[in-house]
Amino acid sequence: MGKKQKQKIVLPPELPPEVPDDEIVVSGEDLEFVEENPDYAGFVSNLDTKSLTKHVIRVADVKEDALESMYEKRQLRKKAIEKEKEEENHIEVEPVDALPVKTLDGKLHYRTVPKALGKLDAESEVEATAVDNGSVAKLTKPEKRAKLKKLRREAKKQGKDAAQEEEVLQAPQAEVLDEVKKELSAAEANEKKKYRLAELGTSLLEDPESNIKSLREMLDISKDADHSIVILGLKSLLAVFKDIIPGYRIRLPTEKEMEMKVSKAVKKTRFYESTLLSTYKAFVQKLIALEQQPVYTRVATRCLCTLLEAVPHFNFRENLLAAVIKSISSEDDVVRKLCCAAVKSLFLNEGKHGGEATVEAVQMIADLVKAHDCQLHPDSVEVFMSLSFDEDLGKPESSEVDDRSKFKNSKKKRKFEEPNKLPTNENKRSRQETIAKTREEVKADYMAASFAQDAAELRRMQTETLSAVFQTYFRILKHAARPRSLTGSTSVFGDHPLLAPCLNGIGKFSHLIDLDFMADLMSYLRKLAGSGSSLGSSAESDAQCLTVTERLQCCIVAFKVMKNNLDALNVDLQEFSVQLYGLILEYRPGRDKGEVLAEALKIMLCDDRQHDMQRAAAFIKRLATFSVCFFGSAESMAALATVKHLLQRNVKCRNLLENDAGGGSVSGLIAKYHPYASDPNLSGALASVLWELNLLIKHYHPVVSATASSISTMNTGNNQTVHINLSPQQAFMQLSREQERFVPASVFKRKKGSGCSGAASTRTKVQELDFKSSPDENQVKEKLAEQFSIINEMVKNERLRAELYETTKCLAVYEEYKKKQKRRKIRR
C-alpha cells in the first residue's frame, strides 16, 4: 500500500470484424418483432451515423500514446469553446468597480457579470418554463409564438433599463470631466496671464515712453477673479511705478495750453505723463479699496507703504498718507509695523519731499488721536521719536552778516571821503532798488542751483510740526489726568496706551517747548505722579490710577524738563522726590519695569546737584531696605549702586555705617527714625543704621555680595573699587545679563593656601568667594526655610494691605454718604 499503484489505461473495446452488407441475413422473426414493436426500434433511425463512422475512423489504427494526446486536445478544445461562450454571455467589470484576482501563475483574472437577457432560444425557454410548471407535455405552436412575443417585450424593457442605468452612471463622470476641463483651461489662462504680465512689465522697464499703454492692460489683468493673479498684478505694477515715476510732480496742461500748437516731442511727453498719472491714480484707488478686504489687506498695505517711501514727492501723496495713517494703529501686527516704518521713513528722509510730507503726516496723526480719544496703539505716537528739529533754523548766516557789515562800512567810507557830495533822494532810492533787485536775483539763482529751500519756509514747516506734536502730547496728558467717569470705556490697548510714548517724547523735545506752557506741563506731571493706588494716597475713588512705571516716568520727565531749561525755570522738584520716595516701596519686580526705576534713580538722585543730608540719608536707608526685600533681582544691584553713589557724595551720611550703641548719628533735627514716613525730610534716617548690608554681604550672588562689602567698608578707609563708576542703569543691565547665565553653587569650597581667618574676608575677585568652612546641608535647608517663611509673610502682608485699602476706601465712601445725608437734612 506504501507504493503508489500505476494508473491503468482503459482501452475502448475491439471493433467487430467488418462484414459486407451482402452477406448480412435478417431472419423472419426479427422482422416480425420490429413490425409489431416500432417504438423499440425507432431510436435506430435517429442515430447519427456520421459521427459514429467519424469517431471510428479517427480512432482506428492509432497508437495508445497518440490516442491520449488526442483526448487531451479534445478536452482543451471543449474548455476553450466554453470560455468563448462565457465571454459572449458575460461582461468584464471595470477595475475601478472591482479589483482583479491574481492567480498563482501571476496572471490577472478580471471579474465578469452576465449580460442582460436578450433574445434567447425559443425552444429552450419554452422547455424551461414547461419544466418549471411541472408539465412534461409539449406546447403548441400558437402558445410558443405568444411565449416568444412576451420574451421579446421583456428583453426590450431590460435593454431600456440598462441604457438608462448606463446614462445615470455616465452623468457624474461627464460632470467631473467638465470640471477638470474647466480647471485645466483656467490654469492655462492663468499661466498665460502671468506670462503676459511679465512681458508687459519688461517692455515698460525697457522703454516706458513707447509702451506706456501697457499700464492699462496690466491694471485690467490685476482685476481678475483669481487671488494669485491679482496679487501678482499688484506687485508687478508696484515694481513698474517705482522705476518709471519721475522725480517731479506732474502738472497736467490746461485747456488753453492744450489749444496751443506744440511739437511732436511735446505731444508725446504730454500723452506719456497723462497716461502715467491716470493709471497711477487708478492703481492707488484700487489699493485703497483692496485694503478693506481681509484677503488683500497685507498686500495692499505693503504696496501703499512702499509707494509712500519711494515716491513721497509725486502726485496723490495725500491719498497715500491718509490710507497709511488710517492703519497705523491696526490690531494686525504686520500692517501696523509696515505703516509705522513708512511714516518713520518720511520723517528721516525729508530730502525726498522737502518736509511737506512730514507736516501732513504729523497733523493727520494728531487728528487721529483726537478722533479716537487717545485710545490707540502706542506705536502710533511712538513714531514722533523719529522727528528731528533744527534749533538754529532762522538765524542769519555768517555770510549775510558779513555782507551787511561790509556794505555799512563801505557806505561810511564813501561819506567820509566825499563829505561835500551829498546824494539826492532820487539817486538814493534808485541805488537801493538796484541793490535789492541784484540781491534777489543772486539769491534766486543760488536757490535754483543748490536746490536749497528757503529758511522762512523751513521755519514755517518746523513750527507747524512742533505745534501738532505738542498739541498731541498735551491732549494725551489731559486725557490721562481726567477722572474715569469722563474718559469712558477703555480700549483693547489698555487704560492709557499713549501715556508712555507721550512722556518719552516730552522728555526728548522738552527744550523746544515754549516757556509759557511750562507751568501747565509741570502741573499735569505733578498731578499724574501723585495719582497712584497707594494706601496713603488721598485720591478720590473716581480718579485715574496710573501704574508705578507710568508715575516714575512722570517724575523722570519733570527732572528732564528742569535740567534742559535750568536757566529759565525756577521750579521746586521736592514733590517729585517725595513721590519717588514712596514709589520705591510700591515697586514690584516682574510687574513694573526695572529699567525705568534705574533711570529714575540716576536722574533724580545721582545727577541731582542739590545736596540735602536728611533727604540723602532717607533715600540711602530706603534703598538698602529695598535691596533686602528683593533679594535676587537686578533692581537690588541698581539700588546698591545708588546707595554707594550717595554715600560717596555725602560724607556725613557715612555715619549710617557705624554700629554704635546710639544707633547711628542723632545729630539731626529729628532724633527718631520713622520708616513709614511719606516725606524723606521727616523720616529721621540719620538715627538709623544700615544693618541691611550685613545680610547682603552673605548674598548668594558674588556681585551683590562684593558690592555690599565695599559699601560697608567705605567709612574705614579700606574701600574697594567694585562698580565704583557704574550708574544704576549700567548696574541693572549688567546684573540682568549675568543673572540669565548665572547658576548659584550649592556647595562652596574653601580655596587652598588662603590665609583668611576673619569672618568677613576681603574679596579681590567678583566671581570667587572665600568661606571659612563649607556649609552643612541642614544649615542650607534652615536658611532656605527662613527665606520662604519671610516670602510667605510678605505675600500675606500684601494681601492684608490690599484688604485694608479696600476697607478704608469703603469707609471713606460711607463717610461721604453720611456727610451728604447731613447736608440734605440741614437743607430741609
Res. 286: pLDDT tops 90 = yes
Res. 413: pLDDT tops 70 = no
Which pLDDT belongs to residue 183? 61
Confidence band of 720 (pLDDT split at 50, 70, 90)? very low
Which pLDDT belongs to residue 273? 92
Secondary structure (DSSP) of 59-83: HTT--HHHHHHHHHHHHHHHHHHHH
Confidence band of 25 (pLDDT split at 50, 70, 90)? confident
Q: Indicate the average pLDDT of the chain.
A: 76
Query: Among 221-230, 408-417, 594-603, 607-616, whose mean pLDDT is lowest?
Result: 408-417
- Mean per-residue pLDDT, 111-116: 64
Res. 403: pLDDT tops 60 = no
Contact 357, 312 (CB under 8 A): yes
Q: What is the pLDDT of residues 521-542, one digit of tens each?
A: 888 888 888 876 443 344 444 4
Burial of 714 per CB tally in 10 Å (0-12, 13-18, 19+) = middle
Contact 201, 239 (CB under 8 A): yes
- Mean per-residue pLDDT, 312-327: 93
Which pLDDT belongs to residue 276? 93
Q: Which residue has the higher pLDDT, 13 or 56?
A: 13
Contact 638, 729 (CB under 8 A): yes
Q: What is the pLDDT of residues 175-216, one digit of tens each?
A: 665 665 566 577 788 888 889 999 999 999 999 988 899 999
- Cell reading at 670: 529729628
Burial of 568 per CB tally in 10 Å (0-12, 13-18, 19+) = exposed
Which pLDDT belongs to residue 199? 92
Which pLDDT belongs to residue 712? 86
Confidence band of 128 (pLDDT split at 50, 70, 90)? very low
Q: Which residue has the higher pLDDT, 489 or 656?
A: 656
Res. 641: pLDDT tops 80 = yes
Contact 582, 678 (CB under 8 A): yes
Q: Which residue has the higher pLDDT, 121 or 612?
A: 612
Q: What is the pLDDT of residues 749-800, one digit of tens each?
A: 444 444 433 333 334 333 343 333 445 677 777 777 777 778 778 878 888 8
Give dist(CA 564, CA 510) in Å, integer: 7
Which pLDDT belongs to residue 466? 92
Q: Which residue has the higher pLDDT, 816 or 147?
A: 816
Which pLDDT belongs to residue 649? 86
Res. 746: pLDDT tops 50 = no
Tracing cell 435478417 back to the chain, one arrives at 26
Task: Name the nearest CA neighbour of 250 among 267, 222, 273.
Answer: 273
Which pLDDT belongs to residue 12? 61
Give dist(CA 497, CA 119) in Å, integer: 91
Q: What is the pLDDT of residues 73-111, one digit of tens each?
A: 878 888 888 777 766 666 666 665 567 777 777 777 777
pTM here is 0.63
Confidence band of 138 (pLDDT split at 50, 70, 90)? low
Question: Angle 455-481/499-508 helices, nearest 10 degrees?
Answer: 140
Res. 492: pLDDT tops 90 = no
Burial of 79 per CB tally in 10 Å (0-12, 13-18, 19+) = exposed
Q: Which amino acid is at 252?
A: L
Q: What is the pLDDT of residues 538-554, one digit of tens each?
A: 444 444 578 889 899 99
Which pLDDT belongs to residue 633? 73
Res. 5: pLDDT tops 80 = no
Confidence band of 628 (pLDDT split at 50, 70, 90)? confident
Which pLDDT belongs to residue 272? 92
Give the other-Cβ count within 10 Å of 93's Cβ: 14
Confidence band of 32 (pLDDT split at 50, 70, 90)? confident
Give dist(CA 36, CA 389) in Å, integer: 147
